Structure formats: C-alpha cells, structure tokens
Structure 1
Amino acid sequence: MKIAITATGDTLTSKLDNRFGRCSYFAIYDPETNNTKFILNPNKEAAEGAGPAAVQMIASQGVKQIISGEFGSKVRSILDDLNIQMVMFTDPEKSIQEIVSLMVVK
C-alpha cells in the first residue's frame, strides 16, 4: 500500500508540510520496495481547486493512504469516495524519513 506524505522539499530530511492541496511536494513511499520518490505538487499555486486536483494526482500514483497536517473539506469526501485513508499528523518538525520510519511495521 503506497503512502503519500505532504513535504516541504524533495529529500528525506524535508519536513512535513501541513497543507495538503498546497504542499510543495508529495513523498510517495512504497513499503514493498522500501523506496520513496518525490513529486512536485503542480497545484500548489492554483487559484482554486488545488485540493481536488492534488487528490487526482495522488490517486493516479496508486496511493491508499495520505499523511498531512490538515485536509480541506472539499478533499475529504473525494478521498472517502476513492477509499484513500487520511492520516492527520500534528508534528511538523518531523522529517519525511522519521514519518516513514513510524509507518513501517517492523
């Protein structure tokens, strides 16, 4: 099950970005391969509809869980319809690597 994490940058030392639709990057973690790839969020500067557009992009990556600091109201119903789990993470000081480590079942 691929996991998307909203990120401030494109490295494992980047921090969690609290914004879902307007985050800078999405870190896509694949537990089957233990690899993380980073995707620039093209919707970050959109005048409107950044959240729904980000959901569609993330869904196209095969993600089944998204970790972010917050999710907008428009996004919640779309994620529910797509059976993508939302996980709110409240520690913006954690790096992407630390969050991935917390998600990996040992």
Structure 2
Amino acid sequence: MLYYPKRRDTVIKALLYAWLLFFAVAAFQIPHSLSTASSSDPESTTSSNRIAVAAVGDGVTSEISPIAGKAPYYLIFDEKGVFVKSVKNPGQSTGRDSSSGVINLLLKESCKTVIAGTFGGKMRNRLEANHIQYYEREGIVEKTVKAFVKTNLFLGGYPRSFPWGHCRSSYLFCSWRPPSPRE
C-alpha cells in the first residue's frame, strides 16, 4: 500500500474544519441567557427571553387580540410561561403608527417573542429590525403560552419573522420541518 502524506493532511484538515463548523453551529443553538436568580418573585428576575402576548383583557384567561398594534393589553410571561405582569398598550390610543409604542414596550420589558392574532406590515418590519420574533396565534392566552413554551423551548420553532427559526443558518439542526404536501 502506498503512503500519500498530502492526501492524509487534506483529510485531517477537512475533519478539523467539520468539527469547528459543528461546534460553531452548536454554540448558536444554546440559549444566550441562563438565569441564575434564586428569588421566587418573577418581577425580580431579569430574563431577556420574555414572551409578550397581545390580549383583549388584563388577565391570563382573556383572548389573544386579533390585531397586535391595537391590543388593549400586553401580558408579559417569562421564558417558562409564568405570568409576570400585565401592561396597558401605549400604542392603542395613537393613530396609524401604533407599532412604535408597542416596540418600545417590548424592548423595555426585554421581550424577545411576541404573540398576537395578526401583525401589520410596519409592525413586522420593526420587529425584525429589533430581532424580536413574532407568532400569529389565536385563542386563550394562558393555553397558547403553555403550548408555545412546551413546543418551542426557544431552540427551534417556526417564527413568522425568520423562515428557519433560531437556526436559520443551518437547516439540519432546526426542529421545524416544512409541512408535507397534501395528497
């Protein structure tokens, strides 16, 4: 058997690049904010993965608002789905530009995800510009948030804002798959 040192070096380099690529992709899959707060008060934890839900009422049993910008309230949940607080929508009373007030509210409350019935064009653009994921859902707030947290876990999911979820750079590591065609 002949010895090819050049081929062996090429194979070793390829394996090293593959391992480097694997670890780089894996690093982006890990949640960036691991909370170490020991307090049981949800207000005292400053999680950056909060979920905001546009709601018709100020309680967790209210319906999700059909329009994100004109929702009377935004209910804030932590990343585990625990209700934190209810905030009156500052953009509800404004004219056509309600999205700027909502975006400021979401940034102030450290929300990285927002759920509502529908989102307007300006709202979608501003959410994407601020790296806030948005999902269009309907139903009761509490049930929707529990289902959302259970299925997404901030690692995959299919947000409306990015076509491949958190792993838009690598389809292989994403938990979302396109639906199969109907027969």
TM-score, structure 2 normalization: 0.53
Q: Which residue of 2 aligns with 1:21?
A: 69
1:69 maps to 117
How far apart in 2 are the matches of 1:69 and 1:50? Answer: 15
SS at match of 2:96: coil
Please state which structure has a larger fraction of its residues in strand: 1
The one-letter code sitting in structure 2 at the alignment partner of 1:98 is K
Gaps of 5+ in 2: 1-48, 152-183
Q: Counterpart of 1:100?
A: 145
- 1:47 matched residue in structure 2: 95
Q: Which runs of 4+ in 1 moved over 3 A?
A: none
> Does 9-18 or 25-34 show the bigger shift?
25-34
1:9 matches 2:57: yes
Per-residue CA deviations over 1:51-105 (Å, capped at 9, x if unaligned) read 122111111110001111111111111111111001111x3xx211111211223
Question: Secondary structure at the residue paired with 1:39?
Answer: strand
Structure number with larger C-alpha Rg: 2
1:35 Cα deviation from its structure 2 partner:
2.9
Deviations 1:25-66 (CA, angstroms, capped at 9, x unpaired): 001110258233110112212123111221111111100011
Task: Please state which structure has a larger fraction of its residues in helix.
Answer: 2
- How many positions carry a matched residue from both structures? 103
Specify which of 82, 92, 97 is matched with residue 130 of structure 2. 82
> Could you state the TM-score of these two structures normalised by the residue count of structure 1?
0.87
Q: Is the 8 A contact 2:71 2:89 kept in 1?
A: yes
Higher relative contact order (CA 8 A, sep 6+): 1
Amino acid of the structure 1 residue aligned with 2:86: F
Rounded Cα–Cα distance in structure 2 between residues aligned with 1:8 and 1:33:
19
